[in-house]
Amino acid sequence: MTSLSPQPAKAAEPKTRPVGDTELSWCKAVPGGTGITVLALLLSKPPDISFLQNALRKLQISHPILNSKLRRDPASCSFSYVIHPAPYIDIHQFDVQSTSHILESHETTAPLPPLHLILEHELNKNSWEEGTGAPSDADIFFASVYALVDTTWVLALRLHTSACDRTSAVALLRDLMEELKGVDGVAERGMQKEMGTSLGIEEYIPAGQANKPFWAHGVDVLGYSLNSFRFSNLNFKDTLSPRVSRVVRLQLNAEETGRLISGCKRSEIKLFGLLTAAGMIASRSIKGIPHDQWEKYAVVTLTDCRSILDPVLSSNHIGFYHSALLNTHDVKGGENVWELAKRICKAFTNAKNNWKHFTDMADINFLMCKAIENPGLTPSGSLRTSLISIFEDHVIERSSKISQEMGLEDFIGCASVHGVGPSIAIFDTIRDGKLDCACVYPYPLHSREQMQELVDKMKRIILDVGI
């Protein structure tokens, strides 16, 4: 009688899907330096590396897009996600000496805390830069732990923005903290939510809401293009040197934040409108132009579309599901910040009510890619497409028992902008009742002193004006 030996199990094959149009625009932007998302956490307790790595791998299983590699086909200039069945992330560790070398090499004219410097360091680690000899399949998700001399640590998570918008980053941080705490079922819940809905945003726009005649696309693209020549910009300092992303923080205490939010509620506007208005007024102020001279500023507002897609996606669904709306505003000297904020919010609301976040999605993506391919189409080849980019809704975070047990002292989340993008990208969070904005800008196109002056003026504007 012949016995049959068991056959080795066949390894599961990775799944592949092409990127969507919005994801493609980020795939083209990231090699140039825009769209590197970073979460940097300052910890007062040493992280257990094996436990942390296990938690991150569970999140990769929970959110398949994080378990993928980005494949570029040079022949067709196309991209696709290759989703692997087994998690693979490894944590890069930097001891005190290695971290000190990194901090010392970071050029700055003002003393900045290590968390800030490591955030900027991570924003400019471009694993997707073309021409680096990197393999065609590039990881989406990276994790590093930096040890500091004062017995604190920084955990940095770096992701490709095509796979992780701001809502995703918030969900990722929340799920990670729950995994580290040992909450059961986090990975399983995420898997149930995402296995059936893992495509790009264009696949989930409700029927008919993105319809636009071909000729209308042409007219709008032409209109956006011609109008861009009239945009005013913050003065450029150095248009020739290689660029990196730098960050300035705008922070308010709880009492100041409370007054600000109350003022927004009374004026029936959102916080993004007030911050945008302050940014425009401050920009005009530091340029020192005549009081009666008008300037046209562009703002790109990003709105999370998950709740209006078909099917509706939860905030826990990882990927890029934001859409951008471009609006312009004329500003002269003596503008009242609240009145300008109302105009900004009204223009955004009208555009959204007309479904322009869906109908203009292809136009905005097309123009973004054209700017990347042809920098000369932008002023001084700067690749600046607007003065400000900002999110419709701010993030609200509250300290939890989990974060206290982890020793979480501070964290900053934002994305790089030194390729195509705005002069200042605002990532606003209200944490424990205090406003904290990470304001990212391209350096040395703009200097740190220039951007610090801008942010300081914005802060004075929103605090000094009455309502």
What is the domain partition of the chain in residue ranges? 15-190, 212-464
169 to 36, 144, 165, 367: CA distances (angstroms): 12, 16, 6, 26
Percent of the chain's residues with pLDDT above 90: 73
State both tokens at 464: 């000094």
Which pLDDT value is given to residue 359?
93
Tell whether omega for the bond before 311 is within 30 degrees of 0, i.e. cis: yes
Which pLDDT value is given to residue 12?
65
Identical topology for domains 15-190 and 212-464: yes
State both tokens at 101: 């070398």
Higher pLDDT, 426 or 208: 426
- Beta-strand pair 384-391/421-431: parallel
15-190 has CATH 3.90.400.10 classification: no
Q: How confident is the model at residue 78 (pLDDT cuts 50, 70, 90)?
A: confident
Which pLDDT value is given to residue 196?
41
CB atoms within 10 A of CB 345: 23
Enter the DSSP assignment of 77.
T
Which pLDDT value is given to residue 216?
66
**Going by C-beta distance under 8 Å and a sequence separation of 6 or more, which residues neighbour residue 104?**
none
Q: Which CATH class is domain 212-464?
A: alpha beta
Which of 4-18, 25-39, 404-418 is predicted least confidently? 4-18
Which pLDDT value is given to residue 111?
85
Residue with tokens 């555009």: 351
d(CA 377, CA 409): 44
d(CA 440, CA 246): 6
Residue 386 dihedral angles phi and psi, to the nearest 5° = -165, 165
Average pLDDT, the chain: 89
Q: Would you say 244 and 34 are in contact if contact means Cβ atoms under 8 Å apart?
A: no
Residue with tokens 């956006």: 224
Q: Would you say 451 and 461 are in contact if contact means Cβ atoms under 8 Å apart?
A: no
Asked if pLDDT for residue 332 goes beyond 80, the answer is: yes
For 394-437, how does the pLDDT look when each residue is reduced to its tens digit (9 = 90+)?
Answer: 999 988 777 787 889 999 999 999 999 999 999 999 999 999 99
Q: Would you say 264 and 452 are in contact if contact means Cβ atoms under 8 Å apart?
A: no
State both tokens at 410: 């501070």
d(CA 88, CA 79): 21
391 in helix, strand or coil? strand
For 339-373, how does the pLDDT look when each residue is reduced to its tens digit (9 = 90+)?
Answer: 999 999 999 999 999 999 999 999 999 999 999 99
Asked if pLDDT for residue 136 goes beyond 90, the answer is: no
Asked if pLDDT for residue 4 goes beyond 60, the answer is: no
79 to 22, 76, 233: CA distances (angstroms): 12, 9, 33
For 211-251, how does the pLDDT look when each residue is reduced to its tens digit (9 = 90+)?
Answer: 876 666 665 666 666 566 678 999 999 999 999 999 999 99
Residue with tokens 């990197």: 134
The sheet with strand 91-94 has its strands ordered as 91-94, 141-147, 153-160, 34-43, 408-417
Residues in the chain: 467
